[in-house]
Each structure stands twice: as C-alpha cells, then as structure tokens.
Chains A and B, each alone.
Chain A
Amino acid sequence: MTQPLPLALAPAVPPSGLRRQLDRWFAPPEADSRRTTWPALMLFLAPALIIYAALTAYPVVRTFYNSFFTIADIESAKFVGLAHFAELARDKTFWAAVRNTAIWSAVAPLLDVATGLLLALCLYAGVPFARFLRVAWFTPVLLSYVVVGIMWVWIYNYDWGVVNAMLRSVGLGSWARSWLGDPNFALAALMITHAWKWAGFNMVVCLAALHSLPSEVLEASELDNCGWWDKLVHIIVPMLWPTLLNLYILAFIGKMKVFDLVWIMTEGGPLWSTETVSTYVYKRAFNWNTFDLGYPSAIAVVWFVVVVGFVVLFNLLFRRRERLEY
C-alpha cells in the first residue's frame, strides 16, 4: 500500500528500497477514519506487547548477546567476539544441517500449499461426504508431533511397517528398506510425514478463503465456458493470492525451524542426513558435553537473519496489499 510522502520529506533522488521501506514504516498517518487516539492504541497493543517484551524479546535479545561469548556458567562468560561465527563457517555439521533444512524449505511449502488448495477445491466443488472428508483430512493436524512421530516410525519399520508390508505384498520386496535408517531416504521419509500432518491445515484455510470469494466472479467464468485449469490459474489463484502467500510463508518458516518431528523420529538421523538447524542448535545447547551456550546462540542468530531475510524478500516480491473492495 503506497502512502504519499509529505513534500518536505520527499528527496530529490528516488529513494532506494531500504529507504522506501523505512519511510513506509515511519510515515505520518493519512486519512482521518484510520486514526485514533494514543490511549486507545495503547489499550489494544499494550497487553500483547508487554508479554512479548518480557517473554520473547528479552530472551531473544539475550540470545543475540550470548552469541558473542563463550558461556559455561552464569558467572563466567568470556567475550570471544566473532569467533563463534568464524567457527560456524567451518563447521561441517552446520552446513549439512543448512543443506537439509534448505531442501526441506524449498520443496515442502510448495507441495503443502498446492495439496491444500487442491483438496480445498475438491471439497468446494462438492464431492459426496464432504463433511466427513473435511474431518478425515484434518485429523493428522490434530495429532501431536509425539503421536505422529511414533506412528510413522512404526509405519516405516523395516520388519512389520506398513510401507514395507505393502511393497512385499505386491512382490516389490527388494525395494523394502529401513527407510529411516538409510541416509539416502531418511530425509524424504521425514518430509512425507511432515507434509502428511500439515496438508489438512492448508486445506481448511484455503477452503475458508474460497468461501469468502464472491460467487459472481466464479459464475461469470462458468458462463464464459472456461475449462477448470483456466479457471484455476487465471481466476482462483490470483484471487486467493494473499491467502496462498500467507500459507507459503508460514510453511516456509515452519520448515526452516522444524525440530519436533525430526527429534522424535531420527534425532538428526543416520549420518546427519536429517540434521536440521534447530536440532543442531538443541544438540549443541543440551547434548554436547560442553556447557557452552554461546555457540548455539550464534547459530540461532545467523539462522534468524537468514529466515527473516527470506521472508522480507518474499514479501517485497510477492505481496500485494490492496484491500478487496467489492
């Protein structure tokens, strides 16, 4: 949403992206019906901001601070400057974790959102038993990671798991393997499990968004005799764009910090093939027998910057903030 800059602030040279962003953040307010008094603003914002400041901002700032120290004990913190970051650049396990997390975040969100949209379209188009399907497709979301992890460990079990049992029953027994124990397949197996859990959530959100679309447009397209693919690409997706982008960003962030499922199923997996940045952070902070908090804090800081960078990039590239007026 563009806001006109007051003339006094408008520079002679067109501002760069960052400058424009800052101007947008700090621009004085415009139209009257979108202004209100400070006390009212504070009433709305204060409760959230107070909790946020105490329980999120402080620990996060503390983590940033810790990343410049080696911390074995509360009393003894040794300032090491950028040493942790330098060591990070040489850390092979860290880069393995980055690679795995990057693969996951590149592939999975697209799959998640696409599956959610397609499922929602099925329901919207009116298949029989829609209500039952809506519940059945959403159940995986309701389960905790512990439950999902255990279930799928059983499903992937070499001796009696569902996957191998099915393969053996159709004569493809030679394809049966220890899915979570093989460095080549463990990551893919985890990705499938994670997608299984979240598809239903994306479906529900897309469904809600589909229902909030004005029906006239869809009817009009019907009259124009559009095929379903054209309808999808040219009408539905553009109209749902804010929702889809939101879902994509949420999925992206979720994959960038995935921890619970990996921890329960493989703990970083055979030969680091499922090590993610979050599991590595946890291991360094809690499992390695050194008590140093500084190094895992440094990892968290670097990763934070990376993820925020990506999200800002996505927003700049894809976000359209028009209000839907109809």
Chain B
Amino acid sequence: MPTIRPLLLRGTLAVLSGAFCCATLSLPASAQGAGKATEPQTVTMWSHWPDEAAKRGFVEERVKRFEATNTQCKVNLQFIQKSDLYASVKTSVRTGQAPDIFWLEPDEIAFAKSGYLEPLDSHIELKNLEDWARSEWTVNGKVYGLPVEAYTVELYYNKDLIKKLGMEPPASMQMTQAQFTELVKKAAAAGITPLANGVGDRPYPGAYFLQEVLLRKLGPDDYKLLLTGKLSFTDPRVIEAMTWVKQLVDAGAYPKSFSTMKLGESHYYFHTNPGALMFPIASWYTGRAFVAPEKGGQPKGFPLGIMKYPALENSKCPECKTLAVGGSYVMYSRSKNKECAGKLLNSIATVENGTRWLEEVLLQTGIRSDANRMQGIWVLYFKELQERSKGAKFFVGTPLHYLSGKCADTFSQVLNRAFPAGQMSVQDAATQMDAACKAS
C-alpha cells in the first residue's frame, strides 16, 4: 500500500519526461515534412561525387540554373558516397521512400528490370543522347537512365620513363605482343612497376588489361558471347590471352601491394610516388589526376602519354576499344514529383551541357556534345585522347555491365584480384569463371 503512490508519481514523471524527449527528438524532421499544398514541388536528388570537385560543381550548377528557370520546382540536392548511396537506395526503393532522382551506374540495371525506375522516354529529349549511351540504359525498348558520365578504357603511360628505358611506342601507338613483353621485362628489371593497378576497394581495375587484350583478340562479337556466358573461358584464344597476361604477371607487371592498394592510391602510385610506367585505367583518371598536387593530383608538368593497348598475334580486332557509360541519373518509379524531376533531367540533357561537361570535367559524356567547341588549358590532353580513339571500333560496356550475381562475384575475385596477383593458374581461373558464368 505505501508503495503505490510513489510508484504512480514516478511513473507519471517517467512518462512525462519520455514524452518530452520524444517531442524534442522528432520535432525538426516533422517540421520539414509538414504538408504544403500550394508550395512548389521539391525534388530530392542524390548524387555520388561528393569529393570530385569538377563533377560536383557541374551538377550543382545545372540544378541552380534549373531552379532559376523553373520557379515551381525546388531541388534538394545531396552528395553521398557511392557505397552509402547504394546501401540507402537499395533499402528505400522497396518501401516507396527512395529519392526522386538518384545516381546509378549501368551495372545496376537490375533496378530497371525489377520495376523500380521510371522510363525516361517521355521526360527527356532522347535525340540529345548518344546512341551507344542510350543503349546501355535500354531495357525492353525503354530508356531508364540519363548517361552523364562516359569513359573509354585507356592505357596511360609516363613518357619520360619509357624514354629512359630506351623504348618508345611506335607511330601507331600500339605495341606488338613481343614489344610489350620486352617493355614489361625491362621496366621490372629497372625497378619500375610496369602496370600500376590496385584492387583494394574496387571489383574491376585488375582486370582492365586482360579484358582489353581479350576484346582485341576475340573481336566484339565473340567478346560479347564470352561476357554473356555463351563462349567458354577455355576457348583456345581466351587461354592464349590469359597465358600471355600470366607471363607478364610472373615477370612482375603489377605492384606487390596490388591486392590492397586502393583506386585513389593507385593513381598516386602511378604519377607521384613511387611512379610507375603505365596505368591501365578508364579516362576518368582525369577526375583524380588533373587537380592540384596537394589534393592528390599529378605533379606539375607530368609527362602524361596515352598508348593503345597491345594486340596479340592474330587479333581479330586490334582497333577495338571499350566505351562505357559511367555515372547516370535515374528516376524513381514511385516518385511523387515526376513532373519536376523529368524537367530537371531534361534540362541537363542538352548539347550545351554535354560540351560543358567535356570542358569542366575533362571526361567523355553520354550526352551529345561538340568537342570542337572546347576551350581551356587541357585541350591538348583531350585532343590526344580523341586521337587515340580515331578509327576505333567501340565495344559498349565493361564486363561488369554484363555479368551479374555469382558470375560477377567470381569475376571480381578471380580475374580482378587473384589472377593478376599471380595467385592462380590460367587453367584454374578459366575453370572457375566457366563454372560461375556459363549460361545454361
């Protein structure tokens, strides 16, 4: 009996303080979420590239101009790291809470196949997109993504170092198999790392060299068959390519810290410390390299050169090259602000913006653009980039745009990590890839 009253008192106190806490904690968000009938539509847009100044600046500028010319639409733009963005988005799309527009790469086409994305055919001017870029986002005849970023897979090299080794690339800028092998051996002997890749935090860079060699050896059609599981990895041409790469690996082509070096670190490894001979990487190399040295960029006056990938003997298509779409923007199929979102995306898809992207970001784009209108200090680099692609036959898409599930996982562990690290034999790698990827 004597315990009831203090009990009640304490209980009430507890409940009151709890209610007060709840009120405080939930207040700010709920104030923002209050319904506004006549207010402008607010489009939530999540993008990657929080720390890539040029790309970020480009997107922010587009959004600002859009808001200025469309007063009934407001944009809530956020920049989030890719891994966090993906974790968030993959959770929220299932429950109707995803942002209206978000950043995606074509290897996540499963979003479209599962019905989470809105087809953009009715929202944007499709003719302002390059055909090959549009095809990377097309499922069942509908286009699901706005391909802002595009890239080719290039082979950068250090002009001074190659001269020091006494070897210069031929006029065609494409070495033969024998020449390239000799180059790698000479570099390794001189203590210079030939190929500066690192696979610590990405599932694809280690395989760049092998995939490019395979593309040129097999030609685009058979290469596509290989990537879709219809051609076996034990095909003699594939084995030949893999054997040659294994030869290079054993000669010391990749750095010792290959398995753990991160992508950003590998850029630094190539151009600053300790400095490598070549760097097989996509042309978004510029995003990390063409900034001030204190921020990790190339040293001033770095002798950057671009080579073509070497072609094996009897390659079907030595002039082939990989072209792919990178960061794109997609619209959520359950968005409540589709009108404004569509207008925003359409405002980005203009030739003018495409050219601006070329100038500011120094990277290709899937939006139609006019490279001849480019200005700025990096024009020479861009001209060289275009030179290398002259007469090239493009294969659209990187392996991870075609592989999925167990096959993609095996690709990442075997062809990207273990094989270039010298931890697997050619036969082993081929068998494992077949086991995981062969289309039944």
| Residues of A participating in the B interface, judged by any CB pair closer than 8 Å | 43, 72-74, 93, 153, 156-159, 178, 180-183, 267, 270-272, 283, 286, 288-291
Contact = CB atoms under 8 A, between A and B. Distances in A.
B65 interface: no
Contact of B95 (A74, A153, A180): A74
Q: Is the interface of B mostly helix, strand, loop or mixed?
A: helix
A66 to B, nearest CB: 11
B335 to A, nearest CB: 16
Contacts of B409: 93, 283, 288
Interface residues of B, number: 32
A291 B86 CA distance: 13
Interface stretch (B72-80, B257-265, B342-350, B356-364): B257-265
Nearest to B96: A74
Given A288-B404, A289-B107, A290-B405, A159 B256 contact: yes
Q: Considering residues A73, A270, A283, A289, which has the most beta carbons from chain B within 10 angstroms of its beta carbon?
A: A289
B249 to A, nearest CB: 14
B129 to A, nearest CB: 23
A230 B41 CA distance: 76
A107 B268 CA distance: 39
Contacts of B258: 178, 181
Given A271-B423, A291-B114, A181 B260 contact: yes
Interface stretch (B27-35, B211-219, B299-307, B412-420): B412-420
A183 to B, nearest CB: 7
28 contacts: A72-B114, A73-B114, A73-B116, A93-B406, A93-B409, A156-B260, A157-B257, A158-B256, A158-B257, A158-B260, A159-B257, A180-B260, A181-B257, A181-B421, A183-B423, A270-B259, A270-B417, A271-B414, A271-B423, A286-B87, A286-B90, A289-B107, A289-B405, A289-B408, A290-B110, A290-B404, A291-B110, A291-B114
A158 B94 CA distance: 42
Nearest to B116: A73
B109 interface: yes
A72 B110 CA distance: 10
A70 to B, nearest CB: 12
Contacts of B40: none
Nearest to B408: A289
A75 B346 CA distance: 30
B115 interface: yes
B160 interface: no
Nearest to B404: A289
Interface string B60-88: 00000000000000000000000000110
Contacts of B121: none
A275 to B, nearest CB: 9
A271 B87 contact: no
Nearest to B91: A286
B91 to A, nearest CB: 8
A72 B116 CA distance: 10
B107 A270 contact: no
A35 B6 CA distance: 21
Interface in B103-124: 107-111, 114-116
Contacts of A290: 110, 404-405
Contacts of B90: 286, 291
> Which among A43, A156, A271 has the highest number of chain B CB atoms within 10 Å?
A271
Contacts of A74: 94-95
A157 B257 CA distance: 7
A153 B198 CA distance: 14
A240 B95 CA distance: 49
Q: Ordered nearest first, which 9 A-B pairs have the shortest CB separation?
A: A181-B259, A158-B257, A289-B404, A289-B110, A291-B114, A181-B260, A72-B114, A271-B418, A288-B405
Nearest to A39: B7
Nearest to B14: A47
Contacts of A159: 256-257
Nearest to B262: A153
A178 to B, nearest CB: 5
A197 to B, nearest CB: 20
Given A159-B257, A272-B413, A283-B409, 5 more contacts: A93-B406, A178-B257, A270-B423, A288-B404, A291-B90
B357 to A, nearest CB: 27
B22 to A, nearest CB: 13
Contacts of B116: 73
B421 A270 contact: yes
Contact of B418 (A157, A183, A283, A288): A183
A178 B413 contact: no
A43 B86 CA distance: 42
Interface string B229-267: 000000000000000000000000000111110000000
A43 B109 CA distance: 51
Contacts of A271: 413-414, 417-418, 423-424
B371 to A, nearest CB: 33
A86 B283 CA distance: 44
A159 B268 CA distance: 14
Contacts of B94: 73-74
Nearest to B199: A181
Given A157-B260, A181-B421, A270 B413 contact: yes
Interface in B193-211: 201
Contacts of B108: 289
Contacts of A158: 256-257, 260
A267 B109 CA distance: 23
Nearest to A290: B405
A180 B87 CA distance: 25
B256 A178 contact: yes
A67 B319 CA distance: 49
A56 B86 CA distance: 24
Nearest to B90: A286
A162 to B, nearest CB: 14
Contacts of B87: 286
Given A270-B413, A270-B418, A73 B405 contact: no
A182 B259 contact: yes
Nearest to B256: A158
Contacts of A156: 260
A289 B406 contact: no
B66 to A, nearest CB: 31
Contacts of B423: 182-183, 270-271
Nearest to A280: B409
A157 B111 CA distance: 37
Contacts of A93: 406, 409
A288 B86 CA distance: 12
B245 to A, nearest CB: 18
Contacts of B95: 74
